[in-house]
Amino acid sequence: MNLPKSARLVEVGPRDGLQNEKQPISVADKVRLVDDLSAAGLSYIEVGSFVSPKWVPQMAGSSEVFAQIQQRPGITYAALAPNMKGFEAALTAGVREVAVFAAASEAFSQKNINCSIGESLERFVPLMDAARQQGIRVRGYVSCVLGCPYEGEVRAEQVASVAKELYAMGCYEVSLGDTIGTGTAGATRHLFNVVGRDIPRNLLAGHFHDTYGQALANIYASLQEGINVFDSSVAGLGGCPYAKGASGNVATEDVLYLLNGLGIDTGIDMGRLIQAGARICAVLDKPNGSRVARARQANT
């Protein structure tokens, strides 16, 4: 079968992972995590987000984190920005790539960013203009692409229409998020087939949460559809504050194990990645969400 020869993993642990943690995490611990991930060979790290601290208190220190991480050449250090205020704060912090996020379901959009899908897209227009002027690349997310915690089923055509708007606005890549992890391999293939009619597949990414244990199967299904960019979170950290019960993103270690087994190149060092995950789990005092990391640690 023709699978991609290489893949890019977008490490979202410091943002999607940590945003859901209730306990305070120091700036120093966040910086250590990002630096560990850089050392492990990740080429893209989502470091934090510039959202309202009232909505997501854990991300409040993102400017400080950006100021203190060791930025290595060739690695993209990105942040989420929901509106112009967030974009300006990101610029001030020296961020050179941002991500905007819209939902495929109206109810989730209201709960997550307090506005309709249409309003959220309108808010991105000035942000995209400013980004273009400043030479900042913008990645787009669509949430709830395979199910919504409030509305249930989400049609692939609805996802396609939101993704198409983000792409038309200038997002260079659109990541499709299974926020609540209910997607299956069949639904994933269908989704990429439908969205792939409007957006070239090499500009689409998959963002799978592992709530129902389907994330690796969904990634394999995506590879079969020619997708080779995946968001993942070291040690399977995370969840979503506005999707009750959503577990973490698929663990980066587990995705790497899958890709290594298929001979798909990522440039990531498994040993260092496992160390990075182990260190943040010790800080958080929680079990490692990566099956691969747990198995390797049990054998050492």
For residue 225, state whether it binds Mg ion (rule: CB under 5 A).
no
Q: Which is nearer to Mg ion, 176 or 270 (CB)?
A: 176
- Closest separation in Å from C-beta 74 to ligand HMG: 24
Q: How far is the CB of 30 from Mg ion (least distance, A)?
A: 17
| In contact, 227 and 161? CB cutoff 8 Å | no
The entry of Mg ion, ligand HMG, none near residue 114 (CB within 5 to 8 angstroms by kind) is ligand HMG
Buried b or exposed e, range 76-85, using 16+ CB within 10 angstroms: bbbbbbbbee
Per-residue tokens: 50: 């510039």
Radius of gyration for the chain, computed over Cα atoms and rounded to the nearest angstrom: 17
Choice between 230 and 270, CB closer to Mg ion? 230
> Minimum distance from CB of 179 to ligand HMG (Å)?
4
Taking the complex as a whole, the smallest distance from the CB of residue 16 to Mg ion amounts, in Å, to 4
Place of tokens 């960019």: 229
Binding mask 11-50 for Mg ion (x = CB under 5 A): -----x----------------------------------
To the query of whether residue 144 is one of the catalytic residues in this protein, the response is no
**Residue ranges that bind ligand HMG, judged by CB under 6 A:** 16, 19, 49-52, 55-56, 80, 82-83, 85-86, 89, 101, 112-114, 141, 143, 177, 179, 207, 240-242
Which of 60, 56, 64, 54 lies closest to 20 in space, CA to CA? 56
> Are the C-beta atoms of 164 and 198 separated by less than 8 Å?
yes
Nearest to 33 by CA among 244, 250, 200, 234: 234
| Active-site hit among 144, 148, 171, 240 | 240
The residue with its CB nearest to ligand HMG is 177
114 backbone φψ class: left, alpha, beta (φ>0; ψ -120 to 50): left
Residues that bind Mg ion (CB under 5 A): 16
